[in-house]
């Protein structure tokens, strides 16, 4: 996915642009000849790159502000700070002030001072631009996905690891200030490398999860998201819902959070049980008094063979046990033996009906 926001040029190029902008401003304001051809050449340079225009406008604005400050300083009869109680409008009987007339445009003494000022301003601007680029510029950007029925494990360049469930997709953008992941579909487990200076942020539509060094999963559903924390602590920042702005929630290990349009539901379970909810990454699913509807969703995390719930009666059945991700047919046979369930085998999956 592209990013239309302008980015800062690399430090070396930023310095060159700032110096060129300073040179143009010195030529225009320094008292020498300035013809229509010069104005056209400047406009052409500004049109070449948005970075050119930004650098020139920044220096031009600073130069104008400098002129205003000099005029204000010239209004005092003696050097030093303004007297206490000074107001910008003179008192009714104030003595007239001596403001020197503006120097003519062709007065040459202005040019050396302008050159020195612009050199300092260009260096400062380039330093700021370089710092911004160094800290905010994306140094690693990539998109990853997993095929239906396959779990994909990904090492990230910051030392973290991501594990994608079946049919999932993420976009990674790492900078020196932040590590940002967009979960665009499905579910992923994140083993986050500790780096207090660079928060690890996962955006998932209905909210975002922020961590520094921890292990958690985020599942994106059409109507919300689910967060499971198995190590450390994360900050859950839900998006605005029907009930307005929602508070930030801190989730310690053993937390399971569900975010939907109606709010945020958090429950705490033993960490071992939270780990079982992420068993799909190792090919094993463990259910503890789960509904069949929940079990079908969990199988979808790691199996290309889909379980489809045919009616509400079947969806509400509660089950427990341990099952292999790649054995959906065996799971359906066990359901037929233990419950009043009929499994209809189709090319695109198994549909479960009440008998």
Query: In sequence order, which ranges of 9-109 are alpha helices (DSSP H)?
Result: 11-29, 36-48, 50-74
Residues 6+ apart with CB under 8 A from 34: 27, 28
Reported as a pLDDT band with limits 50, 70 and 90, residue 187 is very high
Mean pLDDT over 185-204 rounds to 94
- Of the CA atoms within 13 Å of residue 146, those in its CB half-sphere come to 27
- Other C-beta atoms within 10 Å of 99: how many? 10
Reported as a pLDDT band with limits 50, 70 and 90, residue 31 is low
Burial of 215 (0-12, 13-18, 19+ CB in 10 A): buried
**Beta strand extents in the chain (DSSP E only):** 138-145, 152-155, 161-164, 169-175, 179-191, 200-203, 207-211, 215-221, 224-231, 233-238, 249-252, 255-260, 263-268, 284-291, 307-309, 318-324, 341-346, 349-354
Beta-bridged to residue 118, according to DSSP, are none
Residues 6+ apart with CB under 8 A from 295: 285, 287, 307, 319, 331
Q: Percentage of residues in the chain with pLDDT exceeding 70?
A: 73
Round to whole Å and give the CA distance between 296 and 308. Answer: 7
Residues 6+ apart with CB under 8 A from 130: 11, 14, 15
Residue 318 has pLDDT above 70, yes or no: yes
Q: What's the pLDDT at 103?
A: 44
Round to whole Å and give the CA distance between 165 and 39. Answer: 59
* Nearest by Cα to 173 from 215, 131, 201: 201
CB 281 within 8 A of CB 264: no
Indicate the range of 21-25, 44-48, 95-99, 312-316 predicted with least confidence: 95-99
Reported as a pLDDT band with limits 50, 70 and 90, residue 330 is very high
Domain segments of the chain as ranges: 11-76+101-136, 138-274, 283-354
Q: What's the pLDDT at 34?
A: 83
**According to the 3-state scheme, what is the secondary structure of 310-347?**
CCHHHHCCEEEEEEECCCHHHHHHHHHHHCCEEEEEEC
Mean pLDDT over 192-201 rounds to 92
Q: What angle do CA 170, 172, 173 make, to 5 degrees?
A: 150
101-117: per-residue pLDDT in tens? 444 444 445 555 555 55
Place of tokens 């003595």: 95
CB 261 within 8 A of CB 241: yes
Decide which of 2.60.200.20, 3.40.710.10, 3.90.650.10, 2.60.120.1440 is the CATH code for 138-274: 2.60.120.1440
Q: What angle do CA 341, 346, 350 make, to 5 degrees?
A: 40
- Of the CA atoms within 13 Å of residue 12, those in its CB half-sphere come to 0
Residue 89 has pLDDT above 50, yes or no: no
Q: How far is CA 82 from CA 35, 78, 133, 235, in A?
A: 41, 9, 40, 50
Residue with the bigger pLDDT between 131 and 192: it is: 192
Report domain 283-354's class.
Answer: alpha beta
Beta-bridged to residue 192, according to DSSP, are none
Residue 158 has pLDDT above 80, yes or no: yes
Matching CATH topology for 138-274 and 283-354? no
- Of the CA atoms within 13 Å of residue 177, those in its CB half-sphere come to 8
């Amino acid at each position: 996915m592209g990013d239309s926001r302008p980015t800062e040029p690399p430090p070396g190029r930023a310095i060159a642009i700032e110096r060129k902008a300073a040179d143009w401003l010195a030529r225009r304001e320094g008292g020498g000849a300035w013809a229509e051809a010069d104005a056209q050449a400047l406009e052409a340079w500004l049109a070449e790159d948005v970075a050119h225009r930004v650098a020139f406008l920044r220096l031009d604005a600073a130069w104008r502000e400098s002129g205003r400050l000099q005029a204000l300083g010239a209004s005092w009869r003696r050097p030093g700070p303004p007297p206490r109680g000074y107001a910008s409008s003179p008192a009714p009987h104030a003595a007239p002030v001596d403001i020197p007339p503006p120097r003519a445009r062709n007065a040459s003494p202005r040019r050396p001072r302008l050159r020195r000022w612009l050199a300092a301003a260009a260096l400062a601007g380039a330093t700021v631009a370089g710092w911004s680029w160094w800290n905010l510029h994306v140094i690693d950007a990539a998109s990853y996905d997993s095929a239906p029925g396959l779990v994909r494990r990904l090492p990230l360049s910051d030392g973290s690891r991501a594990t994608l469930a079946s049919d999932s997709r993420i976009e990674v953008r790492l900078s020196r200030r932040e590590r940002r992941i967009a979960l665009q579909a499905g579910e992923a487990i994140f083993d986050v490398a500790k780096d207090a200076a660079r928060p690890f942020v996962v955006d998932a539509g209905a909210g975002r999860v922020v961590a520094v060094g921890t292990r958690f999963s985020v599942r994106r559903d059409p109507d919300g998201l689910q967060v499971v924390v198995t190590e450390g602590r994360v900050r859950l920042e839900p998006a605005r819902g029907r009930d307005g702005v929602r508070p930030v929630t801190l989730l310690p290990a053993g937390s399971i959070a569900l975010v939907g349009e109606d709010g945020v539901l958090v429950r705490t379970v033993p960490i071992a049980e939270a780990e079982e909810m992420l068993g799909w990454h190792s090919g094993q699913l463990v259910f503890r008094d789960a509904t069949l509807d929940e079990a079908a969703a969990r199988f979808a995390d790691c199996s290309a063979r889909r379980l489809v719930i045919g009616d509400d009666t079947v969806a509400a059945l509660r089950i427990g046990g341990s099952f292999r991700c790649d054995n959906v047919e065996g799971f359906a046979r066990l359901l037929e033996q233990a419950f009043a369930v009929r499994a209809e085998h189709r090319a695109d999956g198994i549909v479960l009906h009440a008998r």
